[in-house]
Structure 1
Amino acid sequence: MSLLVTGMILVGALCLFDLVLTLGVVRRLREHTTQLQSLLSHGDRSPGRAGGDVGDFLATTVDGEQVSRDLLTGETLVAFFSPGCTTCRETLPEFVEFARALPGGRRQVLAVLAGDREDSDEMVRTLTPVARVALEDFDGELSRAFAVDAFPSHYVVDSTGALLATAPDVALLRATRAA
Protein backbone atom coordinates (compact mmCIF):
# COMPACT_ATOMS: atom_id res chain seq x y z
CA MET A 1 0.00 0.00 0.00
CA SER A 2 2.83 2.40 0.83
CA LEU A 3 4.29 1.69 -2.63
CA LEU A 4 0.98 2.75 -4.22
CA VAL A 5 0.87 5.98 -2.19
CA THR A 6 4.49 6.75 -3.10
CA GLY A 7 3.72 6.12 -6.78
CA MET A 8 0.67 8.42 -6.66
CA ILE A 9 2.70 11.17 -4.98
CA LEU A 10 5.41 10.80 -7.65
CA VAL A 11 2.85 10.96 -10.52
CA GLY A 12 1.20 13.98 -8.91
CA ALA A 13 4.56 15.75 -8.57
CA LEU A 14 5.37 15.03 -12.22
CA CYS A 15 1.98 16.38 -13.33
CA LEU A 16 2.49 19.51 -11.27
CA PHE A 17 5.98 19.99 -12.75
CA ASP A 18 4.54 19.53 -16.27
CA LEU A 19 1.83 22.10 -15.53
CA VAL A 20 4.42 24.65 -14.37
CA LEU A 21 6.48 24.09 -17.54
CA THR A 22 3.38 24.40 -19.76
CA LEU A 23 2.37 27.67 -18.10
CA GLY A 24 5.91 28.98 -18.68
CA VAL A 25 5.72 28.11 -22.39
CA VAL A 26 2.30 29.79 -22.73
CA ARG A 27 3.62 32.92 -21.03
CA ARG A 28 6.63 33.01 -23.36
CA LEU A 29 4.42 32.55 -26.44
CA ARG A 30 2.26 35.48 -25.34
CA GLU A 31 5.37 37.65 -24.99
CA HIS A 32 6.48 36.65 -28.50
CA THR A 33 3.04 37.41 -29.90
CA THR A 34 3.12 40.87 -28.34
CA GLN A 35 6.60 41.51 -29.77
CA LEU A 36 5.55 40.35 -33.24
CA GLN A 37 2.46 42.53 -33.16
CA SER A 38 4.52 45.57 -32.24
CA LEU A 39 6.94 44.83 -35.09
CA LEU A 40 4.10 44.51 -37.60
CA SER A 41 2.31 47.58 -36.29
CA HIS A 42 1.14 49.99 -38.97
CA GLY A 43 2.02 52.92 -36.74
CA ASP A 44 5.76 52.26 -37.03
CA ARG A 45 7.32 54.88 -39.33
CA SER A 46 10.70 53.16 -39.59
CA PRO A 47 12.04 51.88 -42.93
CA GLY A 48 11.05 48.34 -43.81
CA ARG A 49 7.70 48.50 -41.99
CA ALA A 50 4.27 49.25 -43.42
CA GLY A 51 3.55 52.89 -42.73
CA GLY A 52 7.26 53.72 -42.76
CA ASP A 53 9.13 55.65 -45.39
CA VAL A 54 11.63 54.33 -47.90
CA GLY A 55 15.06 55.91 -47.73
CA ASP A 56 16.54 57.71 -50.72
CA PHE A 57 18.17 55.55 -53.37
CA LEU A 58 19.46 55.73 -56.91
CA ALA A 59 20.06 52.58 -58.91
CA THR A 60 20.40 51.48 -62.50
CA THR A 61 18.40 48.59 -63.92
CA VAL A 62 19.88 45.92 -66.17
CA ASP A 63 18.30 47.86 -69.07
CA GLY A 64 20.27 50.99 -68.12
CA GLU A 65 17.24 52.86 -66.71
CA GLN A 66 17.74 55.01 -63.61
CA VAL A 67 15.36 54.33 -60.70
CA SER A 68 15.08 56.33 -57.52
CA ARG A 69 12.54 56.99 -54.83
CA ASP A 70 11.57 60.24 -56.55
CA LEU A 71 11.00 58.46 -59.88
CA LEU A 72 8.48 55.98 -58.48
CA THR A 73 4.98 56.77 -59.73
CA GLY A 74 1.73 55.49 -58.29
CA GLU A 75 1.82 52.30 -56.28
CA THR A 76 4.95 50.32 -57.08
CA LEU A 77 5.64 46.70 -56.15
CA VAL A 78 9.26 46.27 -55.07
CA ALA A 79 10.66 42.80 -54.43
CA PHE A 80 14.06 41.65 -53.24
CA PHE A 81 15.45 38.26 -54.22
CA SER A 82 18.80 36.55 -54.00
CA PRO A 83 19.96 34.03 -56.61
CA GLY A 84 21.45 31.84 -53.86
CA CYS A 85 18.16 31.72 -51.92
CA THR A 86 16.17 28.50 -52.40
CA THR A 87 12.92 30.10 -51.25
CA CYS A 88 13.45 32.95 -53.72
CA ARG A 89 13.80 30.52 -56.61
CA GLU A 90 10.77 28.50 -55.48
CA THR A 91 8.48 31.53 -55.11
CA LEU A 92 9.66 33.35 -58.22
CA PRO A 93 6.95 31.91 -60.55
CA GLU A 94 4.20 33.03 -58.14
CA PHE A 95 5.73 36.52 -57.98
CA VAL A 96 5.96 36.74 -61.79
CA GLU A 97 2.29 35.74 -62.08
CA PHE A 98 1.31 38.33 -59.46
CA ALA A 99 3.39 41.08 -61.12
CA ARG A 100 2.02 40.27 -64.57
CA ALA A 101 -1.54 40.87 -63.31
CA LEU A 102 -0.82 44.27 -61.74
CA PRO A 103 -2.26 47.39 -63.34
CA GLY A 104 0.42 49.62 -64.81
CA GLY A 105 2.48 46.66 -65.96
CA ARG A 106 6.24 46.51 -65.83
CA ARG A 107 6.63 50.22 -64.91
CA GLN A 108 4.98 49.58 -61.54
CA VAL A 109 7.25 46.66 -60.57
CA LEU A 110 10.88 46.80 -59.45
CA ALA A 111 12.76 43.56 -58.74
CA VAL A 112 16.09 43.75 -56.96
CA LEU A 113 18.52 40.82 -57.12
CA ALA A 114 21.09 40.92 -54.34
CA GLY A 115 24.18 38.79 -54.32
CA ASP A 116 26.33 37.06 -56.90
CA ARG A 117 25.77 38.65 -60.32
CA GLU A 118 26.99 35.56 -62.22
CA ASP A 119 24.19 33.47 -60.70
CA SER A 120 21.54 36.12 -61.46
CA ASP A 121 21.20 35.57 -65.23
CA GLU A 122 18.30 33.08 -65.05
CA MET A 123 16.35 35.21 -62.58
CA VAL A 124 16.96 38.34 -64.68
CA ARG A 125 15.54 36.57 -67.76
CA THR A 126 12.49 35.44 -65.76
CA LEU A 127 11.82 38.86 -64.20
CA THR A 128 12.60 41.22 -67.10
CA PRO A 129 9.25 40.75 -68.92
CA VAL A 130 7.26 41.79 -65.81
CA ALA A 131 9.61 44.10 -63.88
CA ARG A 132 12.44 46.56 -64.05
CA VAL A 133 15.38 44.59 -62.63
CA ALA A 134 18.29 45.99 -60.63
CA LEU A 135 21.36 44.10 -59.43
CA GLU A 136 23.26 44.95 -56.25
CA ASP A 137 25.30 43.52 -53.39
CA PHE A 138 23.55 42.38 -50.21
CA ASP A 139 24.22 45.72 -48.54
CA GLY A 140 23.39 47.75 -51.64
CA GLU A 141 21.67 51.12 -51.76
CA LEU A 142 18.20 49.67 -52.44
CA SER A 143 18.50 47.09 -49.65
CA ARG A 144 19.50 49.81 -47.19
CA ALA A 145 16.72 52.16 -48.35
CA PHE A 146 14.10 49.46 -47.75
CA ALA A 147 15.82 48.06 -44.62
CA VAL A 148 15.79 44.56 -46.13
CA ASP A 149 16.80 41.92 -43.62
CA ALA A 150 15.60 38.74 -45.35
CA PHE A 151 15.06 37.28 -48.79
CA PRO A 152 12.60 37.24 -50.42
CA SER A 153 10.96 40.49 -49.29
CA HIS A 154 8.07 42.31 -50.97
CA TYR A 155 6.94 45.92 -50.58
CA VAL A 156 4.25 48.17 -52.01
CA VAL A 157 5.35 51.82 -52.12
CA ASP A 158 3.39 54.91 -53.10
CA SER A 159 4.77 57.83 -55.10
CA THR A 160 5.76 59.70 -51.91
CA GLY A 161 7.99 56.84 -50.73
CA ALA A 162 5.62 55.61 -48.02
CA LEU A 163 5.46 51.85 -47.51
CA LEU A 164 1.86 50.75 -47.93
CA ALA A 165 2.49 47.03 -47.36
CA THR A 166 5.33 44.63 -46.63
CA ALA A 167 5.41 40.85 -46.72
CA PRO A 168 7.91 38.01 -46.98
CA ASP A 169 5.87 36.32 -49.71
CA VAL A 170 3.28 37.07 -52.39
CA ALA A 171 0.42 35.27 -50.61
CA LEU A 172 0.78 37.51 -47.53
CA LEU A 173 1.16 40.57 -49.74
CA ARG A 174 -2.10 39.71 -51.53
CA ALA A 175 -3.85 39.28 -48.17
CA THR A 176 -2.43 42.60 -46.91
CA ARG A 177 -3.53 44.46 -50.03
CA ALA A 178 -7.03 42.88 -49.95
CA ALA A 179 -7.61 44.02 -46.34
Structure 2
Amino acid sequence: MPFVIATLVLVGLLCALDLVLTVGVIKRLREHTDLLANRSGGRLSLGPGDEVGEFSVLTVDGEPVRHDMIDTETVVAFFSPTCGPCKEKLPTFVEYARTVPGGRGRVVAVVATDRDDASAGEPMVSALAPVARVLAGEEAEQLAEACKVQGFPVVLKVNRSTDGRLLVMTDQVDVDRPATASV
Protein backbone atom coordinates (compact mmCIF):
# COMPACT_ATOMS: atom_id res chain seq x y z
CA MET A 1 0.00 0.00 0.00
CA PRO A 2 2.77 2.53 0.77
CA PHE A 3 4.19 1.78 -2.68
CA VAL A 4 0.88 2.74 -4.39
CA ILE A 5 0.63 5.95 -2.38
CA ALA A 6 4.22 6.92 -3.21
CA THR A 7 3.58 6.23 -6.90
CA LEU A 8 0.40 8.35 -6.90
CA VAL A 9 2.21 11.23 -5.15
CA LEU A 10 5.05 11.02 -7.69
CA VAL A 11 2.61 11.01 -10.64
CA GLY A 12 0.72 13.95 -9.10
CA LEU A 13 3.96 15.94 -8.71
CA LEU A 14 4.97 15.19 -12.29
CA CYS A 15 1.55 16.32 -13.56
CA ALA A 16 1.79 19.53 -11.51
CA LEU A 17 5.29 20.21 -12.90
CA ASP A 18 4.04 19.57 -16.44
CA LEU A 19 1.14 21.97 -15.89
CA VAL A 20 3.46 24.72 -14.60
CA LEU A 21 5.81 24.27 -17.58
CA THR A 22 2.91 24.28 -20.07
CA VAL A 23 1.51 27.52 -18.60
CA GLY A 24 5.00 29.06 -18.84
CA VAL A 25 5.36 28.06 -22.49
CA ILE A 26 1.92 29.46 -23.35
CA LYS A 27 2.76 32.74 -21.62
CA ARG A 28 6.04 32.97 -23.52
CA LEU A 29 4.31 32.24 -26.85
CA ARG A 30 1.81 35.03 -26.19
CA GLU A 31 4.67 37.45 -25.48
CA HIS A 32 6.38 36.47 -28.74
CA THR A 33 3.13 36.82 -30.67
CA ASP A 34 2.63 40.33 -29.29
CA LEU A 35 6.23 41.27 -30.12
CA LEU A 36 5.87 40.03 -33.69
CA ALA A 37 2.52 41.76 -34.16
CA ASN A 38 3.87 45.08 -32.88
CA ARG A 39 7.04 45.09 -34.97
CA SER A 40 7.06 47.98 -37.41
CA GLY A 41 8.05 45.58 -40.18
CA GLY A 42 5.34 43.09 -39.24
CA ARG A 43 2.74 44.58 -41.60
CA LEU A 44 1.87 42.93 -44.87
CA SER A 45 1.22 46.29 -46.55
CA LEU A 46 0.66 49.98 -45.92
CA GLY A 47 -1.40 50.73 -42.82
CA PRO A 48 -4.17 53.21 -42.03
CA GLY A 49 -3.11 56.76 -42.81
CA ASP A 50 -0.22 55.71 -45.08
CA GLU A 51 -0.06 57.26 -48.53
CA VAL A 52 -0.35 54.98 -51.56
CA GLY A 53 2.47 55.42 -54.08
CA GLU A 54 1.95 56.49 -57.69
CA PHE A 55 0.79 53.86 -60.19
CA SER A 56 -0.58 53.67 -63.71
CA VAL A 57 -1.65 50.20 -64.80
CA LEU A 58 -3.95 48.33 -67.16
CA THR A 59 -6.41 45.65 -66.08
CA VAL A 60 -6.47 42.25 -67.74
CA ASP A 61 -9.30 43.70 -69.89
CA GLY A 62 -7.12 46.67 -70.98
CA GLU A 63 -8.93 49.19 -68.75
CA PRO A 64 -6.63 51.88 -67.27
CA VAL A 65 -6.35 52.28 -63.51
CA ARG A 66 -4.26 55.22 -62.31
CA HIS A 67 -3.45 56.75 -58.96
CA ASP A 68 -5.33 59.95 -59.88
CA MET A 69 -8.45 58.06 -61.05
CA ILE A 70 -9.34 56.86 -57.55
CA ASP A 71 -11.52 59.62 -56.15
CA THR A 72 -13.76 57.77 -53.68
CA GLU A 73 -13.52 54.84 -51.29
CA THR A 74 -12.15 51.86 -53.20
CA VAL A 75 -11.38 48.32 -52.07
CA VAL A 76 -8.00 47.02 -53.21
CA ALA A 77 -7.29 43.32 -52.66
CA PHE A 78 -4.10 41.34 -53.24
CA PHE A 79 -4.10 37.58 -53.84
CA SER A 80 -1.60 34.97 -55.00
CA PRO A 81 -2.46 31.60 -56.56
CA THR A 82 0.32 29.95 -54.53
CA CYS A 83 -1.12 31.19 -51.22
CA GLY A 84 -3.39 28.77 -49.32
CA PRO A 85 -5.15 31.47 -47.26
CA CYS A 86 -5.78 33.40 -50.50
CA LYS A 87 -7.59 30.42 -52.02
CA GLU A 88 -9.70 30.11 -48.87
CA LYS A 89 -10.52 33.84 -48.73
CA LEU A 90 -11.27 34.26 -52.46
CA PRO A 91 -14.94 33.08 -52.48
CA THR A 92 -15.73 35.21 -49.43
CA PHE A 93 -14.06 38.23 -51.03
CA VAL A 94 -16.00 37.73 -54.28
CA GLU A 95 -19.27 37.76 -52.32
CA TYR A 96 -18.11 40.85 -50.40
CA ALA A 97 -17.12 42.63 -53.64
CA ARG A 98 -20.64 42.08 -55.02
CA THR A 99 -21.96 44.27 -52.18
CA VAL A 100 -19.50 47.17 -52.52
CA PRO A 101 -21.36 50.45 -53.25
CA GLY A 102 -20.41 51.55 -56.75
CA GLY A 103 -19.91 47.96 -57.85
CA ARG A 104 -17.01 46.73 -59.93
CA GLY A 105 -15.72 50.28 -60.45
CA ARG A 106 -14.87 50.56 -56.73
CA VAL A 107 -13.02 47.25 -56.43
CA VAL A 108 -9.51 46.51 -57.68
CA ALA A 109 -8.16 42.97 -57.35
CA VAL A 110 -4.51 42.08 -57.84
CA VAL A 111 -3.46 38.53 -58.69
CA ALA A 112 0.29 38.26 -58.15
CA THR A 113 1.72 35.44 -60.23
CA ASP A 114 5.19 34.10 -60.73
CA ARG A 115 6.68 35.45 -63.96
CA ASP A 116 7.52 31.91 -65.05
CA ASP A 117 3.94 30.68 -64.59
CA ALA A 118 1.50 33.53 -65.22
CA SER A 119 -1.24 31.05 -66.21
CA ALA A 120 -1.41 29.80 -62.60
CA GLY A 121 -3.50 32.87 -61.73
CA GLU A 122 -6.16 32.30 -64.40
CA PRO A 123 -8.72 30.65 -62.09
CA MET A 124 -8.44 33.59 -59.65
CA VAL A 125 -8.64 36.15 -62.44
CA SER A 126 -11.77 34.43 -63.80
CA ALA A 127 -13.42 34.39 -60.37
CA LEU A 128 -12.61 38.05 -59.70
CA ALA A 129 -13.32 39.56 -63.13
CA PRO A 130 -17.13 39.86 -62.72
CA VAL A 131 -16.81 41.82 -59.45
CA ALA A 132 -13.52 43.74 -59.76
CA ARG A 133 -11.08 45.39 -62.08
CA VAL A 134 -8.35 42.73 -62.12
CA LEU A 135 -4.61 43.24 -62.48
CA ALA A 136 -2.11 40.47 -63.16
CA GLY A 137 1.53 40.14 -64.19
CA GLU A 138 3.73 43.25 -64.24
CA GLU A 139 0.68 45.49 -63.78
CA ALA A 140 -0.06 43.68 -60.52
CA GLU A 141 3.54 44.12 -59.38
CA GLN A 142 3.32 47.89 -59.88
CA LEU A 143 0.23 48.28 -57.67
CA ALA A 144 1.63 45.85 -55.09
CA GLU A 145 4.76 48.00 -54.94
CA ALA A 146 2.71 51.20 -54.59
CA CYS A 147 0.91 49.63 -51.60
CA LYS A 148 4.11 48.03 -50.24
CA VAL A 149 2.54 44.56 -50.17
CA GLN A 150 4.88 41.99 -48.63
CA GLY A 151 2.50 39.06 -48.15
CA PHE A 152 -0.91 37.71 -49.12
CA PRO A 153 -3.86 37.99 -48.82
CA VAL A 154 -4.24 41.72 -48.16
CA VAL A 155 -7.47 43.73 -48.45
CA LEU A 156 -7.29 47.52 -48.15
CA LYS A 157 -9.77 50.37 -48.39
CA VAL A 158 -8.26 53.49 -49.91
CA ASN A 159 -9.69 56.97 -50.37
CA ARG A 160 -8.68 60.57 -51.02
CA SER A 161 -7.88 62.76 -48.05
CA THR A 162 -9.12 66.35 -47.84
CA ASP A 163 -5.78 67.50 -49.24
CA GLY A 164 -6.04 65.15 -52.24
CA ARG A 165 -3.60 62.41 -51.18
CA LEU A 166 -4.58 58.78 -51.76
CA LEU A 167 -4.48 57.14 -48.31
CA VAL A 168 -5.16 53.73 -46.84
CA MET A 169 -8.30 54.08 -44.72
CA THR A 170 -8.08 50.57 -43.28
CA ASP A 171 -6.05 47.42 -43.74
CA GLN A 172 -8.52 45.34 -41.71
CA VAL A 173 -11.45 44.94 -44.09
CA ASP A 174 -14.01 42.45 -42.78
CA VAL A 175 -14.95 40.58 -45.95
CA ASP A 176 -17.21 38.24 -44.00
CA ARG A 177 -19.82 41.01 -43.75
CA PRO A 178 -21.47 42.84 -46.67
CA ALA A 179 -19.92 46.16 -47.63
CA THR A 180 -21.79 49.34 -46.74
CA ALA A 181 -21.37 52.90 -47.86
CA SER A 182 -19.16 55.09 -45.65
CA VAL A 183 -20.95 57.68 -43.59
Q: Which TM-score bucket, shorter chain as reference?
A: 0.7 to 0.9
- Counterpart of 1:24 in structure 2 is 24
**Cα distance 1:65–1:126, how it changes in 2: closer, same or farther (>3 A)?**
same
Q: Which residue identity does 2:159 align to in structure 1? A: D
Aligned residues: 173
| Partner Cα distance (1:76, 1:103) in 2 | 9
What TM-score, normalized to structure 1? 0.74
CA distance in 1, matches of 2:44, 2:127: 32
1:147 counterpart residue number: 148
Q: Which residue pairs with 2:69 in the alignment? A: 71
- RMSD of equivalent CA atoms: 3.5
Q: What is the DSSP-based 3-state SS (H/G/I as helix, E as strand, rest coil) of the residue aligned with 2:155? A: strand
Structure 2 match to 1:11? 11
Structure 1 residue aligned with 2:168: 163
Q: Distance in 2 between matches of 1:114 and 1:130?
A: 17
Is the counterpart of residue 58 in structure 1 residue 56 in structure 2? yes
* Cα offset, 1:12, TM superposition: 3.7
Letter of the aligned partner of 2:99 in structure 1?
Answer: A
Q: CA deviation at 1:65?
A: 2.9
Judge which range, 80-89 or 158-167, deviates more.
80-89
Unaligned runs of 5+ in 1: none
1:133 aligns with 2:134: yes
Instruction: Call closer, same or farther: CA 1:13–1:137 in 2, change over 3 Å.
Output: farther
TM-score (norm 2): 0.73
Distance 1:22 1:124, change over 3 A: closer
Q: Percent identity?
A: 44
The Cα shift of 1:105 comes to 1.6
Work out the CA distance in 2 between the residues paired with 1:33 and 1:109. Answer: 32
Report the AA paired with residue 6 of structure 1: A
Contact 2:75 2:158 in 1 (8 A): yes
Q: Deviations over 1:54-105 (max 9, x none)?
A: 2333322123233233321211101112234454344433322221221112
With over 3 angstroms needed to count, the CA separation of the structure-2 counterparts of 1:59 and 1:139, relative to structure 1, is closer
DSSP-derived class of the 1:134 partner: strand
Match of 1:80 in 2: 78
